[in-house]
A = this chain, B = another copy of it.
Amino acid sequence: MAKKDVISIRDFSKKEIEDMLKLAEKIDSMAEEKRLKLLAGKKLATLFFEPSTRTRLSFESAMQGLGGSVIGFADANTSSTQKGESLKDTVRTVEKYCDVIAMRHSLEGAARAAAESVSIPVINGGDGANQHPTQTFLDMYTILKLKKKIDGLVIGFAGDLKFGRTVHSLALALSHFNVKLYFISPDSLKMPQEFLDEIKERGTNYIETENLAETIPELDILYATRIQKERFYDLAEYERVRGFYRINKKLMESAKPELKVMHPLPRIDEIDYELDNTPYAVYFEQLANGIPVRQALLCRVLGVL
């Protein structure tokens, strides 16, 4: 039997995605005492070659909430890579100290390469602008929890659709279902053609537009993303496109009352603080869902439940 990794949302069928969301729901409603025994004695290594508060702490909290323990590094400067060690050797080393690896790396394909080098499960916590599948599972879980269904929804993505890996992965996952998608971005940050082709192939309808205000009334879910400064080579272009869309109370005036605004966080100024205390804002609830979802993924790859 092949070992289980979580590298790309592309590796999961519709059925597997649905099963994972059910498992997350099961863990979410489990008594703490029972949950704390699920991975007792197991060790997670969090290898963050690229820093991330959110994803790293979420994995660590998830693992500890299952009774397991955590080793790792938050910064490539404290790892052996600075002595010139290859990624392959680093993960083959860490493999001897733990039961499962969660990693983030700045290079696309790094998580896949790592997974192919070791015999324990690897979970991708983000590889460059490529994939971030655990984010996608928690996004799907959030939508399902809020809307009780995915089929039939109209979902808009706004912001940086070119470099935003969370958008790429979520759009792919949603295209398994009967949804309508809007891709709302400035021309320089459009959704890459390869993803559009893949979505279309699965028979999912989508519309590309630059106009957020006109699209708002159509949407059940608005998924906003940060314009990521660190992905730009040209800072002048960054300054031009940032804040292209400001999501605030005024914009919500034309929205459906049950519209939910999601964001993978961190935000800079895409979403006004004034929106935080409205029923539209679900982004902090969304990130809280990262715990049961990552717990489900950890259990699944370790063969528990």
1/0 per position for A128-161, CB-CB distance to B under 8 A? 0000000000000000000000000000000000
Please name all residues of chain B whose beta carbon is closer than 8 Å to the beta carbon of A54 when the two chains form the complex. Answer: 80, 93
Please name all residues of chain B whose beta carbon is closer than 8 Å to the beta carbon of A290 when the two chains form the complex. Answer: 96
Please name all residues of chain B whose beta carbon is closer than 8 Å to the beta carbon of A107 when the two chains form the complex. Answer: none
Within 8 A of B (CB), among A37-92: 41, 43, 45, 48, 51-54, 57-58, 60-61, 64-65, 69-75, 77-80, 82-85, 88-90, 92
- Tally A residues with Cβ within 8 Å of B: 55
Whether B71 and A43, one on each chain, are in contact in the complex, defined by CB atoms closer than 8 angstroms, is no
The reply to whether the CB of A268 lies closer than 8 angstroms to some CB of chain B is yes
Q: How many copies does the complex hold?
A: 3
Please name all residues of chain B whose beta carbon is closer than 8 Å to the beta carbon of A266 when the two chains form the complex. Answer: 80, 83-85, 89-90, 93
Q: Counting chain B CB atoms within 10 Å of each CB, which of A32, A36, A85, A288 scores highest? A: A85
Please measure, in the bound complex, the distance between the C-alpha atom of A79 and the C-alpha atom of B77, giving whole angstroms: 14
The reply to whether the CB of A230 lies closer than 8 angstroms to some CB of chain B is yes
Whether A80 and B96, one on each chain, are in contact in the complex, defined by CB atoms closer than 8 angstroms, is no
Whether B57 and A265, one on each chain, are in contact in the complex, defined by CB atoms closer than 8 angstroms, is no
Please classify the interface of chain A as helix (H, G, I), strand (E, B), loop, or mixed, using the class held by over half of its residues.
helix
Whether A69 and B64, one on each chain, are in contact in the complex, defined by CB atoms closer than 8 angstroms, is yes
Within 8 A of B (CB), among A238-287: 265-268, 273, 284, 287
Assuming the contacts A84-B268, A85-B267, asked whether A79 and B97 have C-beta atoms less than 8 A apart, the reply is no
**Contact among B60, B75, B93, B267 for A287, CB-based, below 8 A:** B93
Q: Counting chain B CB atoms within 10 Å of each CB, which of A32, A36, A45, A64 scores highest? A: A64
The reply to whether the CB of A98 lies closer than 8 angstroms to some CB of chain B is yes
Residues of chain A touching chain B, judged by Cβ–Cβ distance below 8 Å, are 32-33, 36, 41, 43, 45, 48, 51-54, 57-58, 60-61, 64-65, 69-75, 77-80, 82-85, 88-90, 92-94, 96-98, 226, 228-230, 265-268, 273, 284, 287-288, 290-291
